[in-house]
Amino acid sequence: MMLLKELVLASHNAGKLKELQAMLGDSVQLRSIGEFSSVEPEETGLSFVENAILKARNAARVSGLPALADDSGLCVDALGGAPGVLSARFAGEPKSDARNNTALLAALDGKTPRSGHYYCVLVLVRHADDPQPIIADGVWRGQVLSAAQGDGGFGYDPLFQAQGESVSVAEMDAAAKNAVSHRGQAMRALAAKLAELGQA
């Protein structure tokens, strides 16, 4: 898919690594930043794109490899876009999908609408000081369910039902999810940008 044969993913999230590797296929080896460092950079950005650039540059600096960063989250209309950039830490530290899901349900108690969207931004830097990061994003609209359903996926997947689906994201087949998800959309957009640059 890309001329780049090896990338480091600026994430310790095994779910993201698995999904992105499946989207990239066998032609690109995606390595976790965990192979190079156990320290995560502080996400000080106010937006998904700021945090993704910060993480990508850090991963490239630490690994010496081109880096791909994903910053993504769930934005719920009734919560003014929260959890948003705080999605992974909505219930505080340490990060926990189960606690985040519980906190989301509590925050939504009695509130409507339950509509929202998953948002993903991908940033690729060829080196730590790359002056032209390649940025792509995707949006996946849907609603927050009143109770968790399914045990697949990760993050808020058991609570999120995408538009046009009759099951939660956690109940979807992985390939079907990747074909329509926010992350899948962002990866296809990134691949198109790389093709324009002659790097795909």
Domain ranges within the chain, ordered by starting residue: 6-196
Catalytic residue among 70, 71, 97, 137: 71
Q: Measure the CA–CA gap between 86 and 188, rounded to whole angstroms.
A: 25
- Residue holding tokens 């519980």? 102
Q: Look up tokens 């992974």; give the residue.
A: 88
**pTM, entire model:** 0.92
129-156 pLDDT, tens digit per residue, is 999 999 999 999 999 999 999 999 999 9
Cβ 39 vs Cβ 97: under 8 Å: no
**Beta-bridge partners for 137:** 121
Stated as kind and residue range, the H or E segment containing 140 is strand 134-144
Reference 136, options 22, 80, 52; nearest CA is: 52
Question: How far is it, in rounded angstroms, from Cα 88 to Cα 135?
Answer: 21
Nearest Cα residue to 44 out of 85, 95, 16 = 85
Q: Collapsing DSSP states into helix, strand and coil, what is residue 170?
A: helix
Per-residue tens of pLDDT for the chain, all 200 residues: 346 889 999 998 888 889 889 888 888 899 999 999 988 888 899 999 999 999 999 999 999 999 999 999 999 999 999 999 999 999 999 999 999 999 999 999 999 999 999 999 999 999 999 999 999 999 999 999 999 999 999 999 999 999 999 999 999 999 999 999 999 999 999 989 988 887 65
From the candidate CATH numbers 3.90.950.10, 3.40.50.2300, 3.30.40.10, 3.50.50.60, the one assigned to the domain spanning 6-196? 3.90.950.10
- 71 carries an active-site annotation: yes
